[in-house]
Structure 1
Amino acid sequence: MDIMTTEQLFRALTPDPDDRKPLYLQVGDRLRDLIAGGTLRLGDAIPPERELAEMTGVSRVTIRKALGQLVEAGILNQKPGAGTFVAGRIEQPLSILLGFSEDMRARGYEPGSIWLDKCVARANSDEAMALGIAPGNRVIRLKRIRTANGQPMAIEAAVISQSYLPAPDAVGDSFYDALKTRDLLPVRALQRIRARLATSRERDLLRLDSPDAVLEIERRSFLADGRVLEVTFSSYRADLYDFVVELRHAGEP
């Protein structure tokens, strides 16, 4: 947040002296409005209590109470030693096949990646079975942390046959963009989702408190002719993601 944006934030949060509503509720309501309107977005840091109190003219106790009610509501989260951040949750429909980057941009977030591995390897037995290829065939392995506005959202490990993607460096920020240039976009996918506790490594990479949960997702994507294109194993932050599916009665057309 730059200086001008911070000044605008302070002005927006300053309570109205003619409003009879308690000061902490005024500050809290104004913060809610800024988040709902997109001025403050997922992962944005909220200035420290001292700065908010000095610039808005209210006490730190008032600021602490205003932030506390939003933390309880799940709108903000507080990390010891790091500060207070816009939390929010992302509803991901299971009926739509989208790449992470495309999905985040559609929501107004800036997608990003922190690469952990990008290499050519020989398929192990699990990878070969999932992709429908012979064990030992060459595959591309792509493992990275996916971010939105700089905040870690998921750990993603994708595997694809080298016959589809010759070199790992062909993938930049978007895996699906790299596939699109080769006319290889999948038309359908199967996903398996289960919840579990994050490992210590996942907690470090996703900046999770201990203990915390992740949603483990295995996805196989298919081309129009039925061939498996890629298999992705992901660990999504359970505190930020809801996966939503629409159900219809069996007799409804």
Structure 2
Amino acid sequence: MSQTLSAILPLDSLQAAGGGPLYLRLRQTLEEAIRSGRLSKGTALPAERDLADYAHVSRVTVRKAVDDLVKDGLLTRRQGSGTFVAQPATRVEQPLSRLTSFTEDMASRGLQTTSEWLERGLFHPSPEEKMRLGLSAGALVARIGRLRIANDMPLAIERASLSTEFLPDPEVVTSSLYALLEKTDARPVRAIQRISACNVREPEAGLLGVPVGAAGLSIERISYLASGRVVEFTRSLYRGDAYDFVAELALGET
């Protein structure tokens, strides 16, 4: 077996971990490797099959031990990538006084952004999309859904809906939606945003790399042109451990 596995999970430690169910002993061995730094934050956990073969246990045992550590926030799963040692999120402050895109906001902080596409295309609108965007009967809606990532950490899931008048071809969106809308004088100038606390559920928890039930921020935004026309209806889910929304208040007249 590889030197890496023997270094992070000494079999002697696993066998000497005491009595109790085997998955608990494996869980304790993995936890000790994480807390001691042998498995450093952000490190990918070996595949379940490799762990099972090395520890001479079933994959069910490995999965149960890993599930426990995911629930406790020591490990995180990323869909399509594997399981990783959780690392503390770098908190990001978002002022509520400026209307900016995610790309612009992260760039202003020197953070490198990437996205994973969840949805992009033209669809028959839902009743809520029809109402929010003021769509006529038979009109299609442009949708773009993305997992937003900053410095390799997933921060938010954004799902934007727009009239095809402003976004006739969603496939042309490659980075900042607002930068693209600005080219056609369709960038919004104001928005109404509603923020509420929530608990993250599956499958969103897997996408964001947080335990099921972790604190999240659910955000609904309606963006407008200067004329008052609605441009964009967006529903987003942000990690509660990584994002702070900050509002500046001034004393009003009484």
TM norm. shorter chain > 0.5: yes
Cα offset, 1:49, TM superposition: 2.3
> Are residues 197 and 51 of structure 1, via their aligned partners in 2, closer, same or farther at CA, if it must alter by over 3 Å?
closer
Q: Distance in 1 between matches of 2:85 and 2:39?
A: 13
Report the counterpart of residue 138 of structure 2 in structure 1: 136
Report the counterpart of residue 79 of structure 1 in structure 2: 75
Q: Distance in 2 between matches of 1:183 and 1:197?
A: 37
Report the counterpart of residue 243 of structure 1 in structure 2: 245
Q: Which consecutive aligned stretches of 4+ in structure 1 deviate over 4 angstroms post-superposition? A: none
Match of 1:88 among 83, 87, 90: 90
Q: Distance in 1 between matches of 2:194 and 2:89?
A: 26
Work out whether 1:178 is the aligned partner of 2:180: yes
Q: Distance in 1 between matches of 2:137 and 2:123?
A: 11
Q: Distance in 1 between matches of 2:128 and 2:39?
A: 53
Report the counterpart of residue 205 of structure 2 in structure 1: 203
Unaligned runs of 5+ in 1: 1-45, 53-76
Q: Is the 8 A contact 1:125 1:135 kept in 2?
A: no
Report the counterpart of residue 21 of structure 1 in structure 2: none
Report the counterpart of residue 70 of structure 1 in structure 2: none
Q: Distance in 2 between matches of 1:49 and 1:216?
A: 34
Letter of the 1:224 counterpart: A
> Are residues 212 and 84 of structure 1, via their aligned partners in 2, closer, same or farther at CA, if it must alter by over 3 Å?
closer
Report the counterpart of residue 117 of structure 1 in structure 2: 119
> Are residues 184 and 82 of structure 1, via their aligned partners in 2, closer, same or farther at CA, if it must alter by over 3 Å?
same
Q: Is the 8 A contact 1:124 1:135 kept in 2?
A: no
Q: Distance in 2 between matches of 1:168 and 1:242?
A: 30
- Cα RMSD after superposing both structures: 2.1
> Are residues 51 and 119 of structure 1, via their aligned partners in 2, closer, same or farther at CA, if it must alter by over 3 Å?
closer
Identity of aligned residues (%): 43
TM-score computed with the length of structure 1 as normaliser: 0.67
TM-score computed with the length of structure 2 as normaliser: 0.67
Match of 2:221 among 219, 243, 248: 219
Cα offset, 1:50, TM superposition: 4.1
Q: Distance in 2 between matches of 1:136 and 1:207?
A: 38
1:221-250 deviation digits (Å, cap 9, x = unpaired): 000100000110000001101111111111
Q: Is the 8 A contact 1:124 1:136 kept in 2?
A: no
Q: Distance in 1 between matches of 2:215 and 2:89?
A: 16
Match of 1:231 among 206, 230, 233: 233
